[in-house]
Amino acid sequence: MSTIELSIDLGSSFITIYQRGVGLVLREPALAIATKVNDKYEIREAGYRAQSMLSQSLGGARVISPIKEGSIIDIEMCAMLMSYFLRKVVPTSIFMPKISAIVLISSSLINSDRKAIEKVMLKVGVKEILLVESPLALLSYTGSIGGLFVDIGSGKTEIAAVTNQGIISGCSVNIAGDAYNNAIVDYIADHFDVKIGDFTVEKLKLDALSLFDNDTNINYVTGRALYDGSPKNAKVKASDMYNAVSPLLDDLIEVVRSVLGTTPPELSAEILRKGIFISGGSSQIPGLKEYIARKLALPVTPLEDVENAAAIGGSHFFSDKQFLSDMLGIHVD
């Protein structure tokens, strides 16, 4: 029986799958639209096609987002979504290949969260499962002997000082893309008396958020007036977006500073030489690299493929089990 080896980055907003020997085979939003058929939900659309439907009326359909802040909150729905995606990746045949997966996870997950991920993978037909903290995969991606990684996703940011002996110090915090969205929504409500929706704030963040303090961009958004519920426009300047999000980033930088303070001198010297590696979809905010570098007085280097680096790095472990064994402190077959 042939074996398909997959590196799966199980994110709150995106699921990314890299197949050894093939490359990146899937990167889709971690959501689906499901309808009830005979008292059971069935997926109607998933990934990007489901995301494109969010601004429409869905009738009796249900939006499934089974992963929050790196944890599975609905095992059955997550299994449905993963099964849907794996059918795109694994060819259907009489003799189904064996699937072996390295699943990249947050370093802060507790035992019950890890068991939930393993349960989902078994449900969708993965025979061999190894859970690996995503900062280890990022180190593998860089080919470095060590470094400080700040991986900014949608639900969480992973901050970790890593060497080829594993994670030396680090933590994960809920200061990431979703928190930026909430801060922008609250700021616009407080300063313009307008409530904007999820679709509007995500588009505004992607189109207009900048951490360059000389940005003069202006955007107009439509929402609901807080005082009577009627439609209302708001003129949002780049400085408004900056003011909404910068306090969160300052909190994140304090966490990074704290991790740096617990890093051994030898690794600190490596970090001083190479700087901080940043990755994740929410690391692409214009001016973010410069903002962090200025606050910490350290160089900041975005990884070459910030969105897919973890999945690519995880795939390297299939050909270097000894390296993975050293970092995990266990024997990996």
Which two three-digit tokens encode residue 12? 């709150």
Report how far residue 133's alpha carbon sits from residue 106's, in angstroms, rounded to the nearest whole number: 6
Residue 2 has pLDDT above 90, yes or no: no
Average pLDDT across the chain, whole number: 91
Mean pLDDT of 242-262: 95
Percent of the chain at pLDDT > 70 equals 98
Convert the pLDDT of each residue in 171-202 to its tens digit: 999 999 999 999 999 999 999 999 999 889 99
Mean pLDDT of 255-280: 90
Report how far residue 270's alpha carbon sits from residue 143's, in angstroms, rounded to the nearest whole number: 14
Kindly report the CA angle at 128 between 122 and 132, in degrees rounded to 5?
95
What is the three-class DSSP state of 297?
coil
Which two three-digit tokens encode residue 320? 């270097």
Mean pLDDT of 264-283: 90
pLDDT band at 37 (very low <50, low <70, confident <90, very high): confident
- Which CATH superfamily is 177-244 part of? ATPase, substrate binding domain, subdomain 4 (3.90.640.10)
pLDDT band at 57 (very low <50, low <70, confident <90, very high): low
Residue 265: enclosing H or E segment and its boundaries? helix 265-274
pLDDT of 14: 94
Model's pTM, two decimal places? Answer: 0.92
Report how far residue 250's alpha carbon sits from residue 294's, in angstroms, rounded to the nearest whole number: 11
Residue 306 has pLDDT above 90, yes or no: yes
pLDDT band at 234 (very low <50, low <70, confident <90, very high): very high
Report how far residue 245's alpha carbon sits from residue 114's, in angstroms, rounded to the nearest whole number: 31
| Identical fold, 3-139+310-328 and 143-175+246-305 | yes
Fold of 3-139+310-328: Nucleotidyltransferase; domain 5 (3.30.420)
Mean pLDDT of 9-18: 93
Convert the pLDDT of each residue in 131-176 to its tens digit: 999 999 999 999 888 899 999 999 899 999 999 889 999 999 999 9
pLDDT of 93: 67
pLDDT of 36: 84
Residue 112: enclosing H or E segment and its boundaries? helix 111-123
Residue type, 207: D
Residue 312 has pLDDT above 70, yes or no: yes
Q: Structurally, what CATH architecture does the domain formed by 143-175+246-305 represent?
A: 2-Layer Sandwich (3.30)
pLDDT band at 220 (very low <50, low <70, confident <90, very high): very high
b vs e for 280-311, b when ≥16 Cβ sit within 10 Å of the residue's Cβ? Answer: bbbbbbebbbebbbebbebebbbbeebbbbbb
Report how far residue 27's alpha carbon sits from residue 25's, in angstroms, rounded to the nearest whole number: 7
**Which residues are bridge partners to 105 per DSSP?**
133
pLDDT band at 1 (very low <50, low <70, confident <90, very high): low
Mean pLDDT of 270-294: 93
pLDDT of 179: 95
Convert the pLDDT of each residue in 83-141 to its tens digit: 999 999 887 766 678 899 999 999 889 999 999 999 999 999 999 999 999 999 999 99
Distances (CA, A) of 19 to 16, 27, 58, 61, 312: 10, 12, 34, 32, 9
Would you say the C-alpha torsion 57, 60, 64, 65 has a positive or negative sign?
Answer: positive
pLDDT band at 31 (very low <50, low <70, confident <90, very high): very high
Ranges of each domain in the chain: 3-139+310-328, 143-175+246-305, 177-244
pLDDT of 194: 94
pLDDT of 94: 60
How many CB atoms sit inside 10 A of residue 44's CB?
Answer: 16
Nearest to 245 by CA among 206, 280, 196: 206
Query: Dihedral (C-alpha) 181, 184, 188, 190: value to the nearest 10 degrees?
Result: 110
pLDDT of 96: 74
What is the three-class DSSP state of 53?
coil
